[in-house]
Amino acid sequence: MGELILYLGGAKSGKTRAALKEAESRPAPRYYLATAQGLDDEMRGRISRHQEERGPDWRTVEASLDPAGALAGIPEDKPVLLDCITLWFSNLMWSRPLEGQDAAWYMDHVGKLITASAERSGALIVVSNELGSGIVPMEPESRLYRDMVGLAHQTLGAHAFAVYLVVAGIPVKIK
């Protein structure tokens, strides 16, 4: 059974950098499950810069909608960094009509990811933005998104071997 490790933090808190350091403490090659989509020039530039920064010991696998399925195609003993839950959930939210989305639908996706992680011997290191410390959004879609990300964090945290909150580039171990 592989280790599930969760890194949470605000935007630009250093959570991905901390997660990369965690992954790089493990043997190469390492895999990066990318949930970002290059839908505009700015995002394509970010993706390109991040790929260059990771270097040659990393293999990028696109996983914008199904990271659990993508994880199944990676050698089971290799470390994997999934970046990030919030982008994945944003992709899920816009992939189908909002009327068909509820907690069960989102948590089914999270459950598949947890199952896929448990079937591996290598670590799955997950990054996500902590959204629960802000104000309650005005729009119903934004509230649904915030709520589902929060439930995902709770579920992942319950199954995780370790959970870190990253603040000002400093990872603080929570679990």
| 153 part of the active site | no
Pick the catalytic residue from 50, 109, 153, 159: 50
For residues 145 and 150, give the distance between their C-alpha atoms in angstroms, rounded to a whole number.
9
3-class secondary structure, 43? helix
For residues 143 and 67, give the distance between their C-alpha atoms in angstroms, rounded to a whole number.
23
For residues 145 and 77, give the distance between their C-alpha atoms in angstroms, rounded to a whole number.
33
3-class secondary structure, 162? strand
For residues 28 and 30, give the distance between their C-alpha atoms in angstroms, rounded to a whole number.
5
3-class secondary structure, 64? coil
Catalytic residues: 50
